[in-house]
Amino acid sequence: MPVIRFVREGRDVECYPGENLREVALREGIELYGLKGKLGNCGGCGQCITCFVDVEGAADAALTPPTPVEVQKLRRRPESWRLACQALVQQSLTVVTRPQVGLADRDAMLAEALSRPLPAGPTAWPTPVEPEPDETEEAVEAPGDSAASAPTTTSGEANA
Ligand code: FES
């Protein structure tokens, strides 16, 4: 699965192929917006032009091609800038969020981030743990009585 390396935040984040870059960033608590975008943004419709990211050094196929609205909105911006809300992640890439906001040592940080190979990421997405039906019933029956509501387990974790 693709890994997005967020340079400003110093984080590598895994996502599904085809996920929207803005949605991945928001899910992971990555700040995409400068002051203007924090005060108000279009919610991902490609209209407010506040979700800029710089994908300098990324392979052409790392993101889906720019949408027509993106081409029009970014016509006076650097070629490596994209609107996160318009880009779907196809391959691992390195991203500088809020490129319009100064970043000390930006060039050195980007060069360092690009010099390290992007990890392939875990091969399996974490799966939610489904509660045992008996555990759910006991928790509902006796919420205030911890002795009565302790789930019966064979691992001994409940009494640890
Ligand atoms: S969120 Fe408004 S253009 Fe991307």
pLDDT at 37: 86
Cα–Cα distance measured from residue 93 to residue 57, given in angstroms and rounded to the nearest whole number:
8
What number does the ligand 1 atom closest to the CA of 44 have?
1
Q: How confident is the model at residue 155 (pLDDT cuts 50, 70, 90)?
A: very low
What number does the ligand 1 atom closest to the CA of 51 have?
4
Q: How confident is the model at residue 158 (pLDDT cuts 50, 70, 90)?
A: very low
Say if ligand 1 is within 6 A of residue 48 CB. yes
What number does the ligand 1 atom closest to the CA of 86 have?
4
Q: Which CATH number fits domain 3-115: 3.10.20.30, 3.40.140.10, 1.10.3720.10, 3.30.70.141?
A: 3.10.20.30
Q: Domain spans of the chain?
A: 3-115
Burial 61-84 (b: 16+ CB within 10 A, else e): ebbbebbeebeebbeeeeeebbbb
- Report how far Cα 17 is from the mean position of its chain's Cα atoms: 12
Mean pLDDT confidence for 21-38: 91
Closest CA to 12 of 89, 107, 93: 93
Structure token digits, residue 130: 């489904």
Mean pLDDT confidence for 72-94: 94
Structure token digits, residue 121: 């990421």
Residue 28 has pLDDT above 80, yes or no: yes
**Whole-prediction pTM:** 0.73
| % of the chain at pLDDT higher than 70 | 78
Half-sphere exposure of 68 (CA within 13 A, CB side): 0
The residue behind tokens 């789930």 is 151
Ligand 1 centre from 127 Cα, in Å?
30
Residue 97 has pLDDT above 80, yes or no: yes
pLDDT in tens, 112-139: 999 988 876 655 554 566 777 776 555 5
